[in-house]
Structure 1
Amino acid sequence: MEQYFNKFREGIIGIDQEMEGIGGKKMPILYADWTASGRNYLPIEKRFQEILMPFVANTHTETSTTGTAMTYAYHEAQKLIKKHVNASKDDVIICAGSGMTAMINKFQRILELKGSVQFDNPNDKPVVFITHMEHHSNQTSWLETCVETVIIPPNEVGLVDLDAFKQLIEKYKSRKTKIASVTACSNVTGIQTPYHEIAKLIHDAGGYCFVDFACSAPYVNIDMHPEEEGAHLDAIMFSPHKFLGGPGSSGVLIFNNQLYNRSVPDHPGGGTVDWTNPWGVHKYIDDIEAREDGGTPGFLQTMKTAMSITLKEEMGVENMLKREEELLEILFDKLESQDNIHILAGQHKDRLGVVSFYIDDLHYNVGVRLLNDHYGIQSRGGCSCAGTYGHYLLNVDQERSDRIVEQIKAGNFSEKIGWIRVSIHPTLTNEEVEYIGNCIIELAKNHRSMQSGYDSKASCGSIEHDQEDLDKAVKAKMLNALTSPFTK
């Protein structure tokens, strides 16, 4: 499959970019942080420049050529996105913010669940079930609403326990509003959840199912309305910036219009009213998509989302999954050969292209810094905004967790749980993934000697080179791009 993806690889902006490493050594940037964000795609950017941008104007009008062009392209982009996820005529799309975090918070406001509400009857308090694998955006956001948030525990092999979920549904059966808001795939381990099975269970109990596709949307088929009874999804959210070609897009929320009961839009403004008058009387548009799209929408961002989806469909989901399987096999074979490298949930190889690991006696931030400085590998260290899942993966009990919290309160983040995460893409070559694996092995063997010449930053578990600022050149380049005059 490597040869098949070469034609797509050629369009990635930065595919041949170099960086400066230790001792001023020039080396290629090897991007292995795809779960955090995708990369820009030159054919998409050219299409913007050559076809779309010459007609840029505000939407909300079809009486001028430019206004017609942008309004039409914007609405066609929305239709394309909805078609891609098999949304129905009763589903509403909202594109806003920069990703899933913005959309889940907006959705919670639309559902009028934000803020503190006192319930006279305990059964009036909504209950939201989440998995143990959630990104913070689908956990902490619910903790700041008026609902009771309940974690579905893992089973004995660390996967979502559907039997335990059934028991929780029975426990909370008297709640009038029951919601399962679950991730489709962990951004830590790449393990997917049985979200359609979760949907059937919560629907049988009279509830709703919302799914966060942020991690998996660039690589999998999404079907909001499968044929199987009860398996439909009432709402989905994802972050198109994680797609190849997606950086610069907006977040996407699609939900069933029966969930909308607001008399006032989430943010009233231009384009949300049928009329106003000087005496304080006004009427909001009935169409949900229009009334929740106040002000100038992110029309270019939405078009970029649509084009990134077009690119995804051109690459082909089956092709991408097959290629990721090939690359994961290479990476697993490498990392499992070294005793002091520990892959999180490593027994589960049926996953998307995400591998998180830790190395004995090496802080994750130090490891990421060394992979960058010595090898040009772009990875990510920390808890991947999934601290609760980290407790399960690393067997952190409450006593240890409390100790870590006390250290964090004192300004010491060095013991905060975390790992090194590499995430791959079908456009990577076999040679590149072998290189990533070999470099991680070399790091595991030699990380102590590799830290020579660095100053420790103990409070955050990181290091800085004491002879030179390795990031100085790239920072200067970024600043120059922002501040240099455009005319001479």
Structure 2
Amino acid sequence: MDIQAIRDQFPILQQEMNGHPLVYLDSSATSQKPVQVIEKLDEYYRNYNSNVHRGVHTLGTHATDEYEGAREKVRRFINARSMEEVIFTRGTTTAINTIAYSYGREQLSEGDEIVITPMEHHSNLIPWQQTAKATGATLKYLPLQEDGTISLQDVEATLTERTKIVAIVHVSNVLGTVNPIKDITEIAHRYGAVTVVDGAQSAPHIKIDVQDLDCDFYAFSGHKMCGPTGIGVMYGKRDLLKNMEPVEFGGEMIDFVNLYDATWKDLPWKFEGGTPIIAGAIGLGAAIDFLNEIGFDEIESHEHKLAAYAQQRMQTIDGLTIYGPDDRAALVTFNMSDVHPHDVATVLDAEGVAVRAGHHCAQPLMKWLEVSATARASFYLYNNENDIDRLVDGLQKTKEYFGDVF
């Protein structure tokens, strides 16, 4: 895996920031885009911009072929059984909200249980809070181990015959924990529950096989995996999706309309009301091509080494606390004693190093960690060890600066 050749394909990484070569360590928030994706978007708008499905003219046919071709790329990317199981959405948040409204609110009743974890992103927490309030269901939490992992024994102990939905993140955006989705799904199915997986932080980094995982729903976003913003995917098993009602109504998703009633199109289009996210889907298809060309075995191996190297280097800094398990995804979340994470991020930014600081849309997890906020450095296929060395140098300067101040 030629990291420099990969970096050369990302125009944004070729610039300086605050007088320093840019080191981008915020890919968990959004990834950068390779030139192939940028050019694919430009090609669509320049050469065949048109609405899809509705027209018979050449532009419309070309756009439709590219749009539905992107759906097939997604199907292969996650190994779904059918294109009917691939719904384009605005992102992970929209996908999970759709599942919570269309499936959750129809299937749950008072006394039923929704099981989630304290490590969930707000996008996989608030929809279930609202669903529980609307249906009378009970929200239950799986306990976390001291290192931020989940014990399968706790899964067995938490689920009951009343459990109907288990909604869980595949990879924590704070801890880097990689949850055992296949095992959790097997347990959930024994109790008759369905699983909803937030794959926003996993789909960009590890090979996803929804048939092997046997999860019932899987959601992820394009912008975290080298694709455009505003495009995501809701995967659902066909038998479940067939019995779910749309949550958006209007053009494109209808079959027949009269004055007082209407019927819906077949899957997947009944969930894609209005003009769909055409350019976004086509761009996502280009991103999938780009990632597949590199290969997920190569990506995973590279990122595993980066995460280990980052932990090794950062553990040499006195007063730095790292959160999460040793075996983690490609991110390190941390705090520096007596220095607020926002101040850490500000000093690093002055050194040309971009990291994230705040609660990372995971306030219950911050409470579990007994902190108000953290800083996070997250890595992707275009990062290298020099980026981590720059991060560590910046952290040393932060420590020296605030040591002088205090």
Alignment TM-score, normalising by the size of structure 1:
0.78
Counterpart AA for 1:189:
L
Aligned to 2:9: 11
Q: Give the 3 Å change call, closer, same or farther, for CA 114–449 of structure 1 in structure 2.
A: farther
Matched-pair contact (CA < 8 Å) for 1:39–1:247? no
1:391-410 map, 5 Å: 391-392=367-368, 394=369, 396=370
Secondary structure of the equivalent of 1:34? coil
Aligned to 2:204: 218
Aligned to 1:44: 37
Secondary structure of the equivalent of 2:236? strand
Matched-pair contact (CA < 8 Å) for 2:366–2:373? yes
Matched, 1:149 2:139: yes
Secondary structure of the equivalent of 1:436? helix
Q: Give the 3 Å change call, closer, same or farther, for CA 450–315 of structure 1 in structure 2.
A: farther
Shift of 1:450: 6.9
Matched-pair contact (CA < 8 Å) for 2:102–2:244? no
Secondary structure of the equivalent of 2:11? coil
Shift of 1:352: 1.4
Supply the distance in 2 between the matched residues of 1:309 and 1:76 (Cα, whole angstroms): 12
Matched, 1:267 2:248: yes
Shift of 1:157: 4.1
* CA shift digits 1:254-295 (9 cap, x unpaired): 101322466853111112222234xx1443234031221111
1:78-477 map, 5 Å: 78-89=71-82, 92-97=85-90, 99-111=91-103, 113=105, 122=110, 125-145=111-131, 146=135, 147-169=137-159, 172-173=160-161, 175=162, 178-226=164-212, 231-244=213-226, 246-260=227-241, 265-277=246-258, 280-345=259-324, 348-373=325-350, 375-392=351-368, 394=369, 396=370, 417-449=372-404
Secondary structure of the equivalent of 1:219? coil
Shift of 1:388: 1.7
Shift of 1:112: 5.2
Q: Give the 3 Å change call, closer, same or farther, for CA 264–421 of structure 1 in structure 2.
A: closer
Shift of 1:47: 2.8
Counterpart AA for 2:139:
T
* CA shift digits 1:357-391 (9 cap, x unpaired): 10110011111111112x11111111111122223
* CA shift digits 1:201-222 (9 cap, x unpaired): 0011111111111012111011
Supply the distance in 2 between the matched residues of 1:248 and 1:356 (Cα, whole angstroms): 24
Q: Give the 3 Å change call, closer, same or farther, for CA 91–155 of structure 1 in structure 2.
A: farther
Q: Which has the higher contact order (CA 8 A, sep 6+)?
A: 2
Shift of 1:312: 1.2
Counterpart AA for 1:11:
Q
* CA shift digits 1:110-161 (9 cap, x unpaired): 215189x9x5xx4xx4311112321111112210113322110023543102
Alignment TM-score, normalising by the size of structure 2:
0.93
Aligned length: 402
Matched-pair contact (CA < 8 Å) for 1:153–1:160? yes
Query: Runs of 5+ in structure 1 lacking a partner?
Result: 21-25, 397-415, 452-488
Supply the distance in 1 between the matched residues of 2:293 and 2:230 (Cα, whole angstroms): 19
Matched-pair contact (CA < 8 Å) for 1:110–1:260? no
Q: Give the 3 Å change call, closer, same or farther, for CA 45–263 of structure 1 in structure 2.
A: closer
Q: Give the 3 Å change call, closer, same or farther, for CA 261–67 of structure 1 in structure 2.
A: closer
Worse-matched range after superposition: 29-38 or 99-108: 99-108
Shift of 1:302: 0.9
Shift of 1:10: 0.7
Shift of 1:62: 4.9
Supply the distance in 2 between the matched residues of 1:36 and 1:442 (Cα, whole angstroms): 25
Worse-matched range after superposition: 196-205 or 177-186: 177-186
Q: Give the 3 Å change call, closer, same or farther, for CA 225–445 of structure 1 in structure 2.
A: same
Matched-pair contact (CA < 8 Å) for 1:248–1:304? no
CA RMSD of aligned residues (A): 2.2
Shift of 1:448: 4.3
Query: Runs of 5+ in structure 2 lacking a partner?
Result: none
Supply the distance in 1 between the matched residues of 2:267 and 2:117 (Cα, whole angstroms): 30
Aligned to 1:56: 49
Matched-pair contact (CA < 8 Å) for 1:178–1:206? yes
Larger radius of gyration: 1
Supply the distance in 1 between the matched residues of 2:128 and 2:405 (Cα, whole angstroms): 43
Shift of 1:319: 0.8
* CA shift digits 1:367-418 (9 cap, x unpaired): 1111112x111111111111222233x2x3xxxxxxxxxxxxxxxxxxx711
Supply the distance in 2 between the matched residues of 1:178 and 1:334 (Cα, whole angstroms): 44
Matched-pair contact (CA < 8 Å) for 2:205–2:300? yes
Aligned to 1:470: none
Supply the distance in 2 between the matched residues of 1:295 and 1:103 (Cα, whole angstroms): 16
Secondary structure of the equivalent of 2:204? coil
The ranges of structure 1 where at least 4 consecutive aligned residues each deviate by more than 4 angstroms after the TM superposition are 261-264
Percentage of identical aligned residues: 25
